[in-house]
Structure 1
């Protein structure tokens, strides 16, 4: 037998781009011992700056809320108050500023609007996910396009509709406008809806259940994580909303938290310590709610996307 001799194939020379890539990798590896500490320092420095930008205004408002008018006028904004138990500004803001009425109106609007958002949003997601009909993608596209249109450009038409319905200067105006389910809520429900197998619907239909019974008894209870997420996000948005209550509920008796705080510019225009106390009254419930419920927000947003 004769041995077969094969010539080794010539190795192709690396291209210009590959040579540049290899050179860049070598430079990064050579500089990695130096880039590690610099990168860590830059990361923590950026975090420190972000925390300072977020907390310094809140700390300034908090300290101003406990100062007397003389102390506020003669000290620096970052100077601590002499008496942390001075609650006179909070009493003035809460009683004379009508904050109690604002909390009551905000609570009524928030409960009714969030409940309607959950029901409408979950039913819309159920119809889009479970029913096959013409134009299903067009409906989703319509919701998406509606969110891309600036709300300010449609305020004239929206105001005319609210006025024609006889809802102007009533709580119903804000409730109807807030109850209009946004595309974010629909997509949150859709993410969770797709994780629920359709076999549950088919088994229930074999037992004689109709579509509404399937939605109410099977699908809706399984949407608890999505419902919690929508309630938190929508609730915080309604609580902090200013434009809609200010425009559609001008009566002082219908003032909500945000508009009650805004009205301090009149009788308390020069008393910034009272305005700071009113701002803290508005901020504290939102801050407590977010700190307590942030785990549900993050878990709800991520679990629906991975199921």
Structure 2
């Protein structure tokens, strides 16, 4: 027996040597299975992704096909059967005209534009003050924002309703606008995260040129926050567009119905006409898809990279 074999045998007799030998054998076994495990892992990954896509799209496809069916066709065919005529838009016309969705779109657009604009302005100013200014109680303010996110909104609805009613905003669009602008702490944290990536040397250079704080915010900070603004616009816009509770509670008048409450009211006149309800659902879904596809490329765009060069 050679000296190397003798040394190896002696090492495997020790507890530590046995462990190392077992580890080496396990590694050799894994390397031997790599040609098999690689394709299996790739196949499992794509199968799981395909299953997730099917789960996400199947309800939408079912609603889309139902929206183009006639009442008789909807009652006699399976939900997964395609419609006989993809150009049948009668359900969409009925949902849009008789369902009052035009007024819902108008109210939703007004509230969304005002609320998102206010959220962006207030959020960026708040983030600018918290990140760039040093003052007493700064950490306390940040802690207060964090605490506000931990309090369930439903627990404060009685007090919130009393405040809105006292301000005379109940049953007006301004009730939803004020509530949407004043309850988005997440937007402030998004702006803070992006603000910290902007070099303070830009502020100092602008101050040397005679710019004041507001000029720095308006001409330097705000344009560089476009990726964060796009993120907040998408998140906040979709949240407002899909919000049901606040418009339903604070704007009960039918003339003030938004798109979500207009669709909810379909349960009355179109309670048994699922093809019309499906068409109304598709009318609600299409704008969100278009908005997301248009704005998603602005997220995480790295517009601050190279700003200090």
Alignment TM-score, normalising by the size of structure 2: 0.88
- Partners of 2:216 and 2:180 lie apart in 1 by 27
Q: What residue is the counterpart of 2:7 in the other structure?
A: none
Structure 1 residue 107 and structure 2 residue 109: aligned? yes
The CA distance in 2 between the partners of 1:176 and 1:20, in whole Å, is 66
Structure 1 residues 53 and 218, CA gap change in structure 2 (3 angstroms): same
Q: Residue by residue, what CA displacement relative to the aligned partner does 1:15-35 show, whole Å, maximum 9, x if unpaired? A: 787666555434432322221
Q: Which has the higher mean CA deviation after the structures are superposed, 30-39 or 91-100?
A: 30-39
Aligned partner of 1:293 in structure 2 is: 295
Shift of 1:304: 7.5
Number of positions where the alignment pairs a residue of Structure 1 with one of Structure 2: 296
Q: Is contact 2:70–2:275 with CA below 8 Å preserved after alignment?
A: yes
Take 2:129 and 2:150, find their aligned partners in 1: how far apart are those partners?
Answer: 23
1:49 paired residue number: 51
Matching residue within 69, 77, 80 for 1:78: 80
User: How is 1:31-42 mapped onto 2 (pairs within 5 angstroms)?
Assistant: 31-42=33-44
Question: Are residues 1:193 and 2:195 paired?
Answer: yes
Match of 2:225 in 1: 223
Cα deviation digits, residues 172-206 of structure 1 (max 9, x gap): 11101111252332222122222322233223333
Please report how far the alpha carbon of residue 104 of structure 1 lies from its aligned counterpart in structure 2 after TM superposition.
Answer: 0.3
Superposed displacement of residue 229, structure 1: 2.0
Residue of structure 2 equivalent to 1:255: 257
Structure 2 CA distance for aligned equivalents of residues 19 and 171 of structure 1: 74
Q: Map Cα deviations across residues 49-77 of structure 1 (whole Å, 9 max, x no partner).
A: 10111111001000100111111001000
**Corresponding residue number in structure 2 for 1:142:** 144
Tell me how far apart the structure 1 counterparts of residues 189 and 18 of structure 2 sit (CA, whole Å).
Answer: 46
Of residues 119, 122, 125, the one that matches 2:121 is 119
Using the size of structure 1 for normalisation, the TM-score is 0.88
CA root-mean-square deviation = 2.5
CA distance in 2, matches of 1:13, 1:132: 60
1: CA distance between counterparts of 2:173 and 2:19? 65
Aligned to 2:131: 129
**How far does the alpha carbon of each residue in 1:237-259 deviate from its partner, in whole angstroms, 9 at most, with x for none?**
11111111111111110011111
Q: 1:64 aligns with which of 63, 66, 73?
A: 66
Q: Which residue of 1 aligns with 2:245?
A: 243
Three-state SS of the structure 2 residue aligned to 1:14 is: helix
